[in-house]
């Protein structure tokens, strides 16, 4: 059971004080009956109205953000702007980052308040492919694709990376697809190949592709199909 005032506050932009004021003046109804006070208990299945307009508790929310450089993938940070600073939604404190990006990495960042969906996305067992556009410091050599496909050894790791696929765009740019999320993994992979990453941009996570209409710092809600693509079992 939920307190009426907390339910309404969570479902709207109203503070608890404002909710109590609406109740006091008889503007809140529960199944057509005037609410008595904010401490009333409800199940959440009732028809709650304020001034005749129905409200309902929001379902889980899912967003894609085109993360700009200089923004950290965190809910709070004392020194830098965070991804959640760019999400202007009610109850934004309930949102969490689903698959982090380094501060200087740009592109697709997913944000949700659905913990199960987040776990499905980020679990090592999910085999969720991430695609990055990688700009390198020096030209690519012909052996990169084979070495990446065989699994690159990273300094300090006990096991090689899982096989990765590479599509060459030009002499110093590739699209890299990986299923893991080790610390600074893409940068370390190309360091192991004798190169270094100049710029890194994530374009896709699983079946979710960054919307090209989003400017850096912009976001939009995911479609139902995009949300479902993460939960769908592999064939």
Express each pLDDT in 79-116 by its tens digit: 899 999 999 887 788 899 999 999 999 999 999 999 99
Express each pLDDT in 62-89 by its tens digit: 999 999 999 999 888 888 999 999 998 8
CB of 67 closer than 8 Å to CB of 105: yes
pTM for the full predicted model = 0.77
Q: In sequence order, what are the residues at sequence separation of 6 or more whose Cβ sits closer than 8 angstroms to the Cβ of residue 210?
A: 64, 66, 107, 108, 202, 203, 204
- Give the strand pairing for 71-72 and 81-82: parallel
Mean pLDDT of 181-187: 91
Structure tokens at 159: 């096991």
Between 100 and 1, the more confident residue is 100
Mean pLDDT over the full length of the chain: 90
The residues assigned a catalytic role are: 102
Express each pLDDT in 113-150 by its tens digit: 999 999 989 887 788 899 999 999 999 999 999 999 99
Structure tokens at 181: 């999320």
Structure tokens at 62: 């899912």
pLDDT at 232: 58
Cβ neighbours, 10 Å, residue 47:
11
Do 62-231 and 2-55 fall under one CATH topology? no
Instruction: Express as a percent the part of the chain with pLDDT over 70.
Output: 97
Find the radius of gyration of the CA atoms of the chain: 23
- Give the strand pairing for 173-178 and 130-136: antiparallel
Among 18, 10, 24, residue whose Cα is nearest residue 59: 10
CATH entry, 62-231, from 3.30.160.150, 3.40.1260.10, 3.40.228.10, 3.30.2350.10: 3.30.2350.10
Give me the residue spans of the domains in the chain.
2-55, 62-231
Question: Domain 2-55 belongs to what architecture?
Answer: Roll (3.10)
């Amino acid at each position: 059971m939920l307190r009426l005032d907390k339910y309404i506050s969570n479902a709207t932009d109203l503070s608890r004080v404002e909710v109590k004021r609406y109740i006091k003046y008889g503007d809140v109804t529960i199944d057509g009956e005037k609410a008595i006070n904010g401490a009333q208990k409800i199940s959440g299945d009732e028809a709650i109205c304020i001034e005749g307009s129905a409200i309902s508790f929001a379902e889980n929310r899912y967003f894609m953000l085109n993360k700009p450089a200089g923004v950290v993938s965190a809910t709070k940070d004392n020194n830098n702007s965070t991804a959640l600073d760019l999400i202007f939604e009610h109850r934004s404190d309930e949102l969490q980052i689903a698959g982090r990006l380094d501060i200087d990495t740009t592109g697709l960042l997913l944000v949700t308040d659905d913990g199960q969906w987040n776990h499905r996305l980020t679990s090592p067992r999910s085999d969720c492919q991430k695609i990055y556009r990688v700009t390198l410091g020096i030209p690519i050599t012909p052996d990169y694709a084979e070495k990446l496909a065989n699994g690159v050894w990273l300094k300090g790791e006990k096991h090689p990376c899982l096989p990765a696929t590479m599509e060459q765009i030009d002499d110093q740019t590739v699209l890299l697809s990986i299923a893991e999320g080790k610390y600074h993994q893409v940068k370390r992979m190309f360091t192991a190949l004798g190169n270094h990453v100049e710029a890194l941009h994530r374009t896709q996570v699983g079946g979710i592709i960054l919307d090209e209409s989003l400017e850096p710092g912009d976001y939009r809600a995911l479609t139902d199909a995009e949300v479902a693509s993460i939960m769908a079992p592999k064939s």
